[in-house]
Amino acid sequence: MIRKSPVIVSALLVGALTCASTSAQTSTPSSSRDGDRDIQTQTSSGPERVNPADPGTLPAGQELDVRLQDPLSSETAVVEQRFEATTVVDLTQDGEVLVPAGSVVRGIVRAVEPATRSNRTGKLTLAFDRMTVDGRSVPLRGNAVEVFKSEGLSGEAAKIGAGAGVGGLIGGILGGAKGALLGVLVGAGGTVAATEGKDVELPSGSIVRVRLDSPVRVTTR
């Protein structure tokens, strides 16, 4: 029998622990699967870059995350109801901030179906038609493509207070988005449907991912 010296054994243990630690740090899953449907598990983690091909313009297909300022429910919402949301992170183009985080985006309830005895699943169709950037209001056309849950503004405020500088601020804001909102499914055209036979409930602070249907001219540069 070959005996290993204590020094060799210790070196092997240290190497194994180092490999395990490195693997844990580099493994950051970004999505999971629910049947045949990919579910996003995190919103944007930093400034989003915009295609620089057309300066000062958000291209069609651009996605941005916005935070609802008020709750929405298929039980109480009405068609043409307006609501407001704010952008979660900066949208940058060629190294410059095109749309600052916190810019107001106006939404509208295009259609609503409350849950009833015969139709047990509530639905909301959400569209977005205007954005205010640095005090300038610009029209846009966009629809919801995903909804994320959030801890809410109070929970995020504590994280912001614990952070340091701008990095801490961004980390605190994004830390509240934990994954796809349970109990809702977003389909074509921005239709948000309950998946558990009840009304759609989107709390204040929920994050909605919006996809633009057409280009949006933000600046004249």
As a whole number, mean pLDDT of residues 186-204 equals 92
How far apart CA 82 and CA 183 sit, in angstroms, is 23
Which residue did the predictor score with more confidence, 164 or 67? 67
Which residue did the predictor score with more confidence, 161 or 202? 202
Q: Is residue 18 part of a domain?
A: no
Q: Is residue 7 part of a domain?
A: no
Query: For the chain, how many structural domains are there in total?
Result: 1
Q: Is residue 156 part of a domain?
A: yes
Q: What are 19-70's pLDDT values in tens digits?
A: 444 433 333 333 333 333 333 445 665 777 888 888 999 999 999 999 999 9
What are the structure tokens assigned to 57, written together?
């313009």
How far apart CA 177 and CA 166 sit, in angstroms, is 18
Range of the domain at 66: 33-217
- The 8-class DSSP code of residue 190 comes to G
The answer to whether residue 15 scores a pLDDT higher than 80 is: no
Q: What is the pTM of this model?
A: 0.69
pLDDT of residue 33: 37
Q: Is residue 114 part of a domain?
A: yes
Place of tokens 């004249």: 220
Helix-then-strand count for the chain, H and E: 3, 18
pLDDT of residue 43: 60
Q: Is residue 85 part of a domain?
A: yes
CATH number at residue 179: 2.40.128.260
